[in-house]
């Protein structure tokens, strides 16, 4: 059972035993095993990478046995202030329409004020969030964390690594705006912010970029990694297909290891979530079904598998055709040995069917795990891929 040791004193006892097991049993055994290429998760991997991936998998398993890492509240993040690049984003209830409004009513989700962080170049006065230049491009980014943990704070290692890399390897974009969207939760913890809370927040952030900061919508690159890639897709779909809101279309979409099948419908012994279990570290996220239940809220039990807003890569979507017809140019990046590879490929195929091969570019990077572009240890794949992403951005 997920989070079986969340209560004290069992939690402390479990953590102590897990640390002991890792330091004095797992790591020594892995080190011996991985000293030989045939014993590693991938023969091509180094001893160091093999150890890191195994340790990350162990760490995430511990989290889903005890409790998730706490994420800061929006009020706590706001205390970092303008010097850290934080800005408030006002709620936009008038922009929520159609199916998303219906799902919001079912799940009791309302539009609320949120915030986000600017990263990159600042104005002449040193302040972040300066007005957009006439031809300025921007990354509008959503962080990963399975919709249940994480933050947009650029001071975190993963965000800083990714943002620096994105800005360093292109010639057009000098700023990233990262939204602090609401995180979801489900029993055994309090139920909070189910679908479409994060999407509603992302809509407010998009309006902020267009109307308050003054970006030409065609110069906005909507991007996201992992669960953030799912959210980037959903926002792009909303502004591309729902004409009632009046929001203009974005210029491009960048999806980095997007998690697009929360119901885990790609099953079987040869599915990527099975065959890549040793070469990735996200298995507990799916076996626990915590995100599944957190997004579901009061929606029907099969909604996560059949709702193309939540799981656009699900095999249980009845009629996926046409979803992506009005999407902008898109780049999808995946790792060849990540567990969520099959759903990403399904998403790619559906996008190509709707948009055509010339508007969808797909990079499947050999020997790479889930969300590898946020990890400094994942070289040379990380830097090589950032350069390819930068070339794509420069071609827009």
* Residue 335 φ then ψ, to 5°: -100, 140
CB 128 within 8 A of CB 150: no
CA–chain centroid gap for 187, Å, is 22
Cis peptide before 388 (omega within 30 of 0): no
- DSSP assigned state of 17: H
β-pairing verdict for 220-225 and 173-180: unpaired
Please tell me the distance from the alpha carbon of residue 254 to that of residue 181, in angstroms, as a whole number.
18
Note if 226 is an active site residue: yes
CA dihedral angle for residue 123, residue 126, residue 127, residue 129, rounded to 10 degrees:
30
Give residue for tokens 């029907």.
Answer: 300
Please tell me the distance from the alpha carbon of residue 53 to that of residue 227, in angstroms, as a whole number.
19
Query: Each residue of 233-269: b (16+ CB within 10 Å) or e?
Result: bbbbbbbbebeebebeebbbbbbbbbbbbbbbbbeee
Size of the chain, expressed as the number of residues it contains: 396
Please tell me the distance from the alpha carbon of residue 124 to that of residue 11, in angstroms, as a whole number.
50
CA distances from 4 to 7, 8, 20, 37, 189 (A): 8, 11, 19, 36, 12
CB 242 within 8 A of CB 100: yes
CB 239 within 8 A of CB 206: yes
Cis peptide before 243 (omega within 30 of 0): no
Catalytic member of 184, 202, 223, 226: 226
Q: Which of 208, 158, 162, 161 is nearest to 181 (CA)?
A: 208
How many CB atoms within 10 Å of residue 76?
A: 11
Please tell me the distance from the alpha carbon of residue 29 to that of residue 250, in angstroms, as a whole number.
50
- What token pair was written down for 310? 């939540």
- Report the catalytic residues: 226
């Amino acid at each position: 059972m997920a989070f079986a040791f969340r209560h004290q004193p069992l939690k402390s006892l479990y953590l102590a035993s897990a640390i002991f097991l890792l330091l004095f049993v797992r790591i020594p055994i892995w080190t011996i095993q991985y000293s030989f290429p045939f014993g590693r998760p991938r023969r091509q991997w180094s001893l160091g990478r093999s150890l890191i991936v195994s340790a990350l998998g162990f760490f995430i398993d511990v989290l889903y046995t005890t409790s998730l890492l706490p994420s800061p509240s929006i009020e706590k993040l706001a205390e970092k202030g303008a010097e850290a690049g934080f800005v408030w984003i006002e709620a936009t209830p008038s922009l929520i329409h159609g199916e998303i409004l219906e799902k919001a009513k079912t799940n009791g989700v309302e539009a609320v004020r949120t915030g986000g962080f600017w990263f990159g170049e600042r104005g002449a006065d040193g302040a972040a969030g300066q007005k957009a230049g006439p031809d300025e491009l921007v990354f509008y980014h959503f962080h990963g964390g399975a919709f249940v943990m994480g933050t947009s704070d650029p001071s975190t290692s993963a965000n800083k690594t990714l943002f620096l890399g994105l800005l360093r390897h292109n010639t057009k974009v000098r700023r990233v705006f990262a939204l602090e969207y609401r995180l979801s939760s489900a029993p055994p913890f309090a139920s909070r912010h189910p679908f479409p809370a994060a999407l509603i927040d992302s809509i407010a952030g998009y309006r902020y970029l267009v109307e308050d900061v003054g970006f030409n919508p065609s110069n906005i690159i909507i991007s996201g990694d992992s669960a953030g890639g799912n959210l980037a897709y959903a926002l792009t779909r909303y502004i591309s297909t729902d004409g009632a809101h009046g929001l203009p279309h974005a210029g491009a979409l960048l999806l980095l290891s997007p998690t697009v099948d929360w119901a885990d419908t790609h099953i079987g012994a040869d599915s990527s979530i099975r065959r890549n279990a040793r070469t990735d570290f996200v298995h507990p996220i799916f076996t626990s079904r915590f995100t599944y239940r957190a997004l579901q809220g009061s929606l029907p039990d099969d909604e996560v598998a059949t709702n193309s807003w939540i799981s656009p890569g699900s095999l249980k979507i009845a009629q996926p055709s046409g979803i992506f017809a009005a999407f902008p140019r898109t780049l999808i990046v995946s790792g060849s040995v990540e567990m969520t590879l099959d759903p990403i490929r399904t998403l790619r195929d559906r996008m190509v069917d709707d948009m055509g091969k010339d508007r969808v570019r797909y990079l499947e990077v050999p020997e790479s795990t889930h969300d590898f572009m946020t990890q400094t240890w994942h070289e040379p794949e990380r830097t090589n891929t950032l350069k390819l992403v930068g070339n794509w951005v420069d071609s827009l």
